[in-house]
Amino acid sequence: MKAIVQRGYGAPERVLQLDQTTARPVPGDNDVLIRVRATSVNTPDSATVAGVPYVLRAQAGLRRPKQPIRGSDVAGMVEAVGQGVTDLQAGDEVFGSLWGSANSSKPGTFAQYTVVPASQLVKKPAGLSFEEAAASVMTGLTSLLAMRDVGHVGPGTRVLINGASGGVGTMAVQIAKSLGAEVTGVCSARNVELVRSLGADHVIDYATQDFTKNESRYDVILDNVLNHPPKAVARLLTPQGVFIPNSLGISGKLLGGLPRVARAALMGKGSTDVKFVTLAVNHENLNALVRLLESGEAKTIIERAYPLDDAAGAITRVLGHHASGKIAITV
Report how far apart the first and last C-alpha atoms of the chain are (Å, whole number). 11
| Dist. CA 242–CA 253, nearest whole Å | 29
Identity of the residue numbered 50? A
pLDDT in tens, 80-118: 999 999 999 999 999 999 998 555 567 899 999 999 999
Q: Write the DSSP assignment of 263-308 as a string of letters.
A: HHHHHTTTTSEE-------SHHHHHHHHHHHHHTS----EEEEEEG
Torsional class of 291: left (φ above 0), alpha (ψ -120 to 50), beta (otherwise): alpha
pLDDT at 102: 53
256: CB partners within 8 A, 6+ apart: 47, 52, 53, 55, 248, 249, 250
Instruction: Answer whether 43's CB lies under 8 Å from 248's CB.
Output: yes
In this prediction, residues 13-29 reach a mean pLDDT of: 96
pLDDT at 222: 98
The share of the chain scoring above pLDDT 70, in percent, equals 97
Over 80: is that where the pLDDT of 330 sits? yes
pLDDT in tens, 24-50: 999 999 999 999 999 999 999 999 999
**Among 42, 50, 47, 62, CA closest to 13:** 50
In this prediction, residues 179-194 reach a mean pLDDT of: 98
Band (pLDDT 50/70/90 cuts) for residue 207 is very high
In this prediction, residues 56-76 reach a mean pLDDT of: 93
pLDDT in tens, 308-318: 999 999 999 99
Helix axes 43-50, 311-319, angle to 10 degrees: 100
pLDDT at 59: 85
